């Protein structure tokens, strides 16, 4: 799965044309980011099932960034890809509903209907508890979409709070996993997968087996492959429920493939190199998901 995390200073070479050099810096950057993202999508769509849009990069550009975000999501949908809005939002009920409406299907207002981003999946932050997650889950269900709850993230600092051991056994992240399993059990699809998934970093494979025990029916979003050091080969437990059980996301390793190794001068076409890297990751993941799944219990043991 393609992660789009567009850094205005590291876009593909043709992201801005001469005719585009007008308007404010944010407007120019917004157009260039859109062109860049569309080119990466076009180059790799055959090897991906989804794009993950890092909202921070778009938000940095203000209103033009938000326009670019909408256009990138629309372009990805036109290419047959799912759209994951990676915003990690989390807030009290009324605010969570506003975030969810904006990222999924929009909202009716006295001024008319306001379109949402139309995301298929949205990452959410569970720190504030179940009542902060429920509006996202409910809004996703109305839109036929899903949520991905941060359970055990891929950054080194994840250990500071997520790994704290809790009275009664387990870590904080295992309590979050139990919440995910409980919310997800309310709706399970034909493939045995629920519409409440989990973000489980690919950088700590030791957690994956336990995570799959706690969340048997959750789709796992697996960030951290590539630039953050995670290896596809370590991710087998994520695919225990089948090929759709894991979404391996790689951003910089695909988009920046043309700058690596024997192509340091960047002479090869970025698109061809990106496609090759995306296909390599896909094949590695599919090889894993074709293996005999490990034995897994789908019964959460806490809460």
Residues annotated catalytic, as ranges: 88
- For residue 148, what are its two tokens? 């991905």
Stretch that binds a second copy, among 21-29, 240-248, 257-265, 280-288 (CB under 8 A): 21-29
Distance, CA of 250 to CA of 228 (rounded, Å): 9
Q: How far apart are CA 276 and CA 46, in angstroms?
A: 11
Interface segment toward a second copy; rule CB under 8 A; list 104-112, 212-220, 253-261, 263-271 = 104-112
> In sequence order, which residues have a C-beta less than 8 Å from that of residue 290 and are 6 or more positions away?
243
In the region spanning residues 187 to 216, those forming contacts with a second copy, defined by CB under 8 A, are: none
Q: How far is the CB of 103 from a second copy (least distance, A)?
A: 8
| Residue 267 binds a second copy, judged by CB under 8 A | no
Query: Does residue 157 belong to the site contacting a second copy (CB under 8 A)?
Result: yes
**Contact set for a second copy, span 115-144 (CB under 8 A):** 115, 125-133
Nearer to a second copy, 159 or 244 (CB): 159
Q: State the Rg of the chain over Cα.
A: 19
CB of 104 to a second copy, least distance (A): 11
Single out the residue of 104, 109, 68 nearest to residue 85, CA to CA: 104
Cα–Cα distance between 54 and 59 in angstroms, integer? Answer: 9
Among 91, 185, 259, 269, binds a second copy (CB under 8 A): 91
The pairing of strands 112-114 and 107-109 is antiparallel
Task: Give which of 295, 174, 166, 281 is closest to 235, Cα–Cα.
Answer: 281
| Beta carbons within 10 angstroms of residue 122's beta carbon | 28
Site for a second copy contains 253 (CB under 8 A)? no
Q: Which of 36, 75, 89, 212 binds a second copy (CB under 8 A)?
A: 89
Applying the rule CB under 8 A, the residues between 44 and 83 that interact with a second copy are 54, 56-57, 59-67, 70
């Amino acid at each position: 799965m393609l992660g789009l995390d567009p850094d205005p200073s590291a876009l593909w070479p043709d992201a801005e044309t001469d005719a585009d050099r007008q308007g404010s810096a944010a407007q120019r950057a917004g157009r260039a980011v859109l062109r860049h993202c569309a080119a990466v999508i076009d180059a790799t769509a055959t090897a991906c099932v989804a794009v993950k849009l890092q909202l921070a990069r778009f938000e940095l550009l203000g209103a033009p960034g938000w326009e670019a975000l909408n256009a990138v999501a629309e372009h990805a949908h036109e290419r047959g890809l799912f759209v994951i809005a990676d915003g990690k939002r989390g807030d009290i009920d009324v605010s969570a509903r506003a975030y969810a409406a904006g990222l999924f299907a929009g909202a009716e207002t006295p001024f008319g209907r306001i379109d949402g981003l139309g995301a298929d999946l949205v990452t959410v932050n569970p720190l504030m508890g179940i009542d902060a997650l429920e509006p996202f889950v409910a809004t996703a269900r109305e839109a036929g979409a899903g949520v991905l709850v941060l359970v055990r993230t891929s950054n080194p600092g994840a250990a500071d709070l997520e790994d704290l051991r809790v009275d009664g056994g387990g870590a904080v992240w295992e309590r979050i996993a139990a919440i995910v399993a409980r919310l997800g059990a309310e709706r399970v699809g034909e493939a045995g997968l629920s519409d409440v998934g989990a973000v489980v970093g690919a950088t700590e494979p030791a957690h994956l087996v336990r995570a799959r025990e706690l969340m048997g029916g959750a789709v796992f979003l697996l960030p951290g492959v590539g630039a953050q050091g995670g290896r596809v080969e370590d991710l087998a437990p994520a695919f225990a429920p089948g090929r759709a059980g894991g979404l391996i996301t790689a951003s910089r390793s695909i988009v920046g493939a043309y700058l690596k190794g024997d192509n340091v001068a960047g002479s090869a076409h970025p698109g061809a190199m990106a496609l090759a890297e995306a296909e390599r990751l896909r094949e590695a993941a599919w090889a894993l998901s074709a293996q005999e799944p490990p034995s897994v219990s789908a019964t959460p043991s806490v809460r």
